[in-house]
Structure 1
Amino acid sequence: MAPDQAGEARKGLIDSVKGKAKEVVGSLSGNDSLTAEGQLEQTQARERKDANAAEAVADAESAQAKARADDAAFEGERRRIVAEADAASAQQSATRQQAAEKQAADQAANAEVTRANEQAEALRKRDQLAADVKAEAEVDAASDDYVDAVAEHQESAADAAAKRDEADRLRAYAHSEEGN
């Protein structure tokens, strides 16, 4: 509970006790004005308590939304790194395959060397293209997850702000009722 929330809670408790005391004294002494004033103070204390509770819920929801957005950002970065590692591994694999095919082609006749090199290059390009397409798709998926998480965080933050505004409104109403 934040210091200002703790202070509000103490003030609400004190106001509630004062209100109850005024209500009892007014009731026992037959002073309807004092009884009504005591009831009003109790009502204002309840409203302040409700406003503090609503603000605490809004703060907790905002923290949860931020944690989810942070988790999604971390997961997106992790997926990007995995996708890049997969692409590098595919590149290394394609390079190893090309070297093996080239060595086999070098041992064959000159005509076979030309044909084998062309075939190896085509396979390498195909594998590289496939690896690039896969990596790009995984990065896109991770980006989409991150964008969704950011949107959810913004929505949760807006909801939390609305709840905080409602809590402020209730608190202001309770304070204005004290003045009446």
Structure 2
Amino acid sequence: MTDKSGQTRKSFLESMKGKAKEWTGALTGRDSLTAEGQLEQAGARRRRQASRLQAESDLEQRDAAARAEEAQLRSDQEQLVADMRRTRVEGEVRAEQEARKRATEQAGRHDAAQAEGQFEDDVQRQAQRASAAANRETEAAAEHYDRAVQDYQQAAGEALRTQAQAARQRRRAEGVDDPDLP
């Protein structure tokens, strides 16, 4: 039964049934009925604990997924900002390149060759700086995303371990009457 409220009702009823058997056994002097009632109560407690652990696991998994999605959004935003900055810098470089080119043409052919060489060096340095800045921002965004993925994977692993523990306890609780179970 995967319905959490159904499991809670079932464990409550089993607990009450176990308590009734325990009292009946105690009143009638039947130790086996008393022991059976106590076992049913213990099984009900284990099912309640397993249900609680399952609920905690589900909550942890949802939280981890939300954190991963939030980190992805932040990473996407940081990438968008880096792209916008790169585009702006490239536009500024192009505008400056056009302005320098016009100035170079006016200065004459001899001066034009020298100015153009200097200009190309400046443009290349500015482009390299802009590219380096964009690369650093992209790397930072990627690291942020990687950390978020690691956090998500860790939380998901913890959720899976909690689910496995809940399943083991549920199986153990449901098999209380089976003496062959560990």
User: What's the TM-score, normalizing by structure 2?
Assistant: 0.90
C-alpha deviation, 1:110, in angstroms: 3.4
Matched positions, count: 179
1:34 corresponding residue in structure 2: 33
Q: Matches of 1:160 and 1:113 in 2, distance apart?
A: 68
2:85 corresponding residue in structure 1: 86
2:95 corresponding residue in structure 1: 96
2:70 is equivalent to residue 71 of structure 1:
yes
1:148 maps to a residue whose letter is R
Q: Matches of 2:117 and 2:149 in 1, distance apart?
A: 48
1:7 corresponding residue in structure 2: 6
C-alpha deviation, 1:61, in angstroms: 0.7
Percent of paired sites with the same residue:
36
2:162 corresponding residue in structure 1: 163
1:107 corresponding residue in structure 2: 106
C-alpha deviation, 1:118, in angstroms: 2.2
Specify the SS of the correspondent of 1:177: coil
Structure 1 outlier segments of 4+, above 6 Å? none
Q: Matches of 2:177 and 2:74 in 1, distance apart?
A: 50
Listed as ranges, the matches of 1:10-21 within 5 Å are 10-21=9-20
Q: Contact conserved, 1:44 with 1:178, CA < 8 A, in 2?
A: no
Q: Matches of 1:149 and 1:133 in 2, distance apart?
A: 24
Listed as ranges, the matches of 1:51-70 within 5 Å are 51-70=50-69
Unaligned runs of 5+ in 1: none
Q: Matches of 2:175 and 2:163 in 1, distance apart?
A: 18
Higher mean displacement: 6-15 or 105-114: 105-114
Q: Contact conserved, 1:62 with 1:156, CA < 8 A, in 2?
A: yes
How large is the RMSD of aligned CA atoms in angstroms?
A: 1.7
2:158 maps to a residue whose letter is D
Q: Matches of 2:137 and 2:56 in 1, distance apart?
A: 36
2:24 corresponding residue in structure 1: 25
Q: Matches of 2:61 and 2:102 in 1, distance apart?
A: 61
Question: What are the superposed Cα offsets for residues 117-141 of structure 1, whole Å, 9 maximum, x if unpaired?
Answer: 2222221111111111111111111
Question: What are the superposed Cα offsets for residues 160-180 of structure 1, whole Å, 9 maximum, x if unpaired?
Answer: 111111111111111111345
User: What's the TM-score, normalizing by structure 1?
Assistant: 0.91
